[in-house]
Structure 1
Amino acid sequence: MIIIENAAIATVDPDGTEHRNGHVVVDGERIVAVGAGPASVPPGEHTRIDGTGCLVTPGLVNTHHHLYQWATRGLAADSTLFEWLVELYPIWGRLDAEITHAAATAGLARLALTGCTTVADHHYVFPRDAGDQIEALVTAVTTIGVRGHLVRGSMDRGESDGGLPPDNLVETLDAALLGTEQAIDTHHDPAPNARIRIAVGPCSPFSVSEQLMKEAAELARRKGVRLHTHLAETLDEERQCLAEVGCTPAEYAEALGWLGDDVWLAHTVHLAPGAIARLGVTGTGSAHCPTSNGRLGTGIAPARDLIDAGAPVGLGVDGAASNESGGLGEELHQALLQARQRGGPQALTVRQALWMGTMGGARCLGRQDELGSLEPGKLADLALWRLDGLRYAGITDPVAALVLGAVPDVELMLVGGETVVAGGELRTADEAAIAAQLRAASGRLR
C-alpha cells in the first residue's frame, strides 16, 4: 500500500469534499481510502509519504493535444490560425515515426511534470512513407507511463479541393478510414483500467470532406469508440462554412451526426447561444484550450455557458506549436482568467477550474467512473503538489494557491498506483536524454 498523510485533500467528488489535513490510501492500482486525519490501515509493509505542506488532487486530464508539434515550437509566432497552418503544414509533411516519437516523448514528459496523468492526443498528419505514426505515439505513452487517448485523425481535403493542407499531406477517403480502423483494432483497450484507448478524429471541416466526416462517425459508433474533431475555433472557419454549406460549423456538425455524448470537440470558441444549448442537451463535450486560443488570437471560448448548459467541459493544452509551454497545470489559471475576462469575477471559481482540469476532462473522455476524482474504487491517478515554499507563503486556501499561483512542483504523481514523478523529477525516463533526442529530431525536421 501507498499511504499519503498530513496533506490537504481536494477530492473533486460530487460533494466537493475537502480535508485540511487528511490521507489517501492506494492499494495496487486503485484508491481504497480517502479521509480526514491519519490513515487507519492494517499492519504490514507500507510506503508512507508525508504530505505536510502539500495538496493532493486527482491527476489532471488533458483533453486535446498534438504531441508531434513539440518538434516545431516557436514558429509563426505572430500569425492567425490559418496563416500558422499554411506555414507549418509543409514542415509537418516531413514528419517520420522517429521524429513523432521523440516529440511525443518530450511532450508527455512535460505534461507529467505538470500533474497530467491522462492525455488525449489528436494526430492527423500521416506523410507518405513516414512509418507507423500511431505506434510511435503508443510507445511514447508507454515509456512515460501516463494514460493515452490517441485520436486517429485524418485529412482528405487538400488545396486542390479547397482545403488548407498541401495535397501531399492528405489521405484518400478509403486510406483514412482503413488506417483508423486498423488503429482501433490494434491498440484500443476498452477495459476500465485501460492505458491506451483510440478515438476517431477527422481533423476539421476545412481539411476533411463531408463524406469522411459521416463515415468516420459511423465507423466510431460501429466500433464503440469516441469521436473528436476541431470545431468553431475561428471566425475564418465560420465564414468558410457559411459560404460553402450555408450553415455554422456547429449546425454542420449536428447535420453530420457529430453531436452526442460520445463526442468531444476541440476549442468551440465561436458558438451561438442555440449551439451552446445543443451541446448541453446532447451531452457533447468541449476541450477548452485557453492558452492556445490566446496565442493564436482566436477568441475566448464560452466555457462557463457550456458548463451551465450541461455540456462536459475539460481543459486542453493543444499542440505545443501554439502553446510552447506545453504544461497542463497552467491551463487551470488561464481558464479562470479567460472566463472572468468574458463574464466577470464570478464567472469561474478556483474549484470550478480544478473541476474542469480533472472531472470535466474525465467526462469528455467518457471515464468519469474511473478517473477525475479521489474516491475509493477509482484508479489511483493523483498528483501531490508542493505548496510550502515562498511562492505560496500566506495563502491559506490550497486550491486557490494551485489555481491562482505559479504552477507548483509535483512532489509525487501516480498513475494506476505507479510512480511517474517524484520529488519534482520524472522517474520513468531520463529527461536529459529526452531533450537531446527532441533537439536532434527537431533539427532534422527543419
Structure 2
Amino acid sequence: MNPLLIKHCAAIMTGDKHQPRSQARDIRIRDGLIVEMGDLIATADETVIDARDCVVYPGWVNTHHHLFQSLLKGEPKGLNLSLGGWLAATPYRFRGAFDEQTFRIAVRVGLVELVRSGCTTLADHHYLYWPDMPFDGAEILFDEAAKLGVRFVLCRGGATQSRGLESDLPGALRPENFHSMMADVDRLVARYHQPHDRAMRRIVMAPTTTLHSTTPQELRESARLARQLGIRLHSHLSETVDYLDAARSKFGMTPLQFCAEHDWIGDDVWFAHLVKLLPEEIAMLGAAGSGIAHCPQSNARLGSGIADVVAMEQAGMKISIGVDGAASNEAADMQSETHAAWQLQRVRKGMQAQPRYAGGTYEGGGDAASIEDVVRWGTSGGAQVLGLHTGRIAPGMAADIAIYRLDDPRYFGLHDMAIGPIASGGRASVKALICDGHVVMQEDVIPGLDVAELRRDAAQAVKTLQQRAGV
C-alpha cells in the first residue's frame, strides 16, 4: 500500500456535520488511513496526486441497491407502472431468466456505474434466491466487488412466503425454507463477514420485505440470529400506502409497529424507502436510532412519493442514500441520486407551503436541504448506517476519497466549485478514486476495464434475458 499525498485540492467537502468543509489543501494517506491534512510537503516515498482545480469528496456510501436489475433498465412493461404492478412486470418476471453469466454481467455493469460516480462502498440487497439455485450469487457479488477494489456489503434477502405473483418461469418464484435460509446466512457470515469497522466485506440479515416475505415468528427469529451473529438488519418498508393498508389488514397495526413488535427496530436496523411513514413512526425510529436508505429517484420513477428525511434526521434517525435497482432508476449512480435528493427535498417542502389567505405563507422550500446535508447523507450517514469508519475526510478516518475534475461545460461558471458534483448534476469525471488507501480509478479510467466490451456483453445479455422470459 503506497503512501499517498493529494496536493492542491481546490475544495474539500468533509462529510462532517459540524465542519462540512475543510480549509486544508493537501491530504496525506498512509496504511489506508488519512493521517494528516493541511499545507503539506511531499516525502520521498509518497505518490503525489495533483488535485489542482479538483473538488474532493468522501467516497459515496450507497446503502441500498439491487445489482441484478442493471440489465432491466427501461423495461417496457414496467416502465409506466407503480410499485405493485412494476414488481410483477419487471423484476419478478425476469428473475428466473438469470443464470451465472447474465447475473455476473449485471453485477459488473452496476458496480462499474457506481464506481465511475465516485462510490467506494455498496450495500446490495440481493434477493435472487430460490430452492436449488444453479449458481451462488453471493460469490459472484463479492468477486466482482473485489476486482474493483471497493467495499461490499451483502444484504442477504429472500423470502419464505410467496408474494402471489405469476411468471413464465415459476421455479424462480418458489419460496425458500426458513431454516435453509438462516443456515445460508450463517455460512455467509463465516465465509465473508469482517466485523471490524474498516471492513471490505460485510453480511446483513435482509428478508426482502418484513410484511410479505416471512412470517411474524420467522421475522423475530431472524432478528435474534442476526444479533447473535453480530450482523445488522435491513429490509424494504413503507414504500407506498399499500404497506399501511396491508399492515392494518394483516396485523392490526402500522408497518413500523409490526416491525418493532418483532424486534426489527434499533440502531443496528435500517430500512429502504420509508416514503409513507406516520409522524409517530418517525418518532419511534428516531428514538431507536434506526436508519433510512433514502432512494429519491426510484421513489419518483415509481410515483411513490418523497420521504421526509429532514424530519427524520431531526427526530434522531440516521440518514443515508441508496440508488435502488436500475429497473426502477435508469441512472443508478450516486451523483444522480444525490442531485435528486437535494432537489426533491425542496420540492417536498414547497408542496407543503400554503398561501397567506389560508393561514400559511408563500415561502417555498429553497432551504429544505443544503448541499452539505446531502454530502453528509451520502457519505458519513451511510457509513453510520453500515457501522463503518469511513464517509468523512478527517485524520484517523479510512481513506475513501473521490477527486472530481469539473472539466465539462455543465460545471463552467460555478461560483462555488465545491457544490458542482451535486448541484450541477451529470457525472463529473473522476481524477482519482481511492478506497482504503488504494487508487481504484485514475483519470476517469478503471484499470483493466474495456467499456466497449462491457457494453457488448450487456446488450447480448439483455437479448438472452428477453428470450428466456418470452419477450
TM-score (norm 1): 0.94
Look up the match of 1:130: 134
Please point out which of 152, 158, 164 is paired with 2:156.
152
**Contiguous gaps of at least 5 residues in structure 2:** 350-364, 467-471
Retained in 1: the 8 A contact 2:338–2:422? Answer: yes
- Where 1:425 maps in the other structure, the secondary structure is coil
The equivalences for 1:27-426 within 5 A come to 27-35=30-38, 38-41=39-42, 43-75=43-75, 76-88=78-90, 89-127=92-130, 128-159=132-163, 168-169=172-173, 170-204=175-209, 205-343=211-349, 344-367=365-388, 370-407=389-426, 408-426=428-446
Look up the match of 2:354: none
Give the Cα separation in 1 of the matches to 2:24 and 2:163: 59
Question: Deviation of residue 210 (structure 1)?
Answer: 1.8
Give the Cα separation in 1 of the matches to 2:71 and 2:306: 27
Give the Cα separation in 2 of the matches to 1:32 and 1:151: 31
Retained in 1: the 8 A contact 2:20–2:372? Answer: no
Give the Cα separation in 1 of the matches to 2:319 and 2:258: 21
Give the Cα separation in 2 of the matches to 1:430 and 1:376: 35
Count of residue pairs the alignment pairs up = 439
Retained in 2: the 8 A contact 1:64–1:122? Answer: yes
Look up the match of 1:26: 29
* 1:444 pairs with 2:450: no
Retained in 2: the 8 A contact 1:159–1:167? Answer: no
Retained in 1: the 8 A contact 2:297–2:323? Answer: yes
Moved more, 205-214 or 105-114: 205-214
Deviations 1:36-57 (A, max 9, x none): xx3134x313221221111111
Question: Deviation of residue 13 (structure 1)?
Answer: 2.9
Question: Deviation of residue 20 (structure 1)?
Answer: 5.4
- Where 1:379 maps in the other structure, the secondary structure is coil
Give the partner amino acid of 1:6: H
Question: Deviation of residue 161 (structure 1)?
Answer: 11
Give the Cα separation in 1 of the matches to 2:217 and 2:462: 35
Question: Deviation of residue 96 (structure 1)?
Answer: 2.4
Retained in 2: the 8 A contact 1:61–1:372? Answer: yes
Question: Deviation of residue 17 (structure 1)?
Answer: 4.8
Retained in 2: the 8 A contact 1:25–1:32? Answer: yes
Question: Deviation of residue 209 (structure 1)?
Answer: 2.3
Give the Cα separation in 1 of the matches to 2:71 and 2:176: 22
Question: Deviation of residue 440 (structure 1)?
Answer: 2.9
- Where 1:40 maps in the other structure, the secondary structure is coil
Look up the match of 1:432: 452
Deviations 1:9-29 (A, max 9, x none): 122235325245611111231
Identity %: 35
Give the partner amino acid of 2:282: I
Give the Cα separation in 2 of the matches to 1:388 and 1:72: 31
- Where 1:65 maps in the other structure, the secondary structure is strand
Retained in 2: the 8 A contact 1:157–1:207? Answer: yes
TM-score (norm 2): 0.89
C-alpha RMSD of matched pairs (Å)? 1.9
Deviations 1:321-369 (A, max 9, x none): 11111111111111111111112111101110111111111111111xx
Question: Deviation of residue 159 (structure 1)?
Answer: 4.3
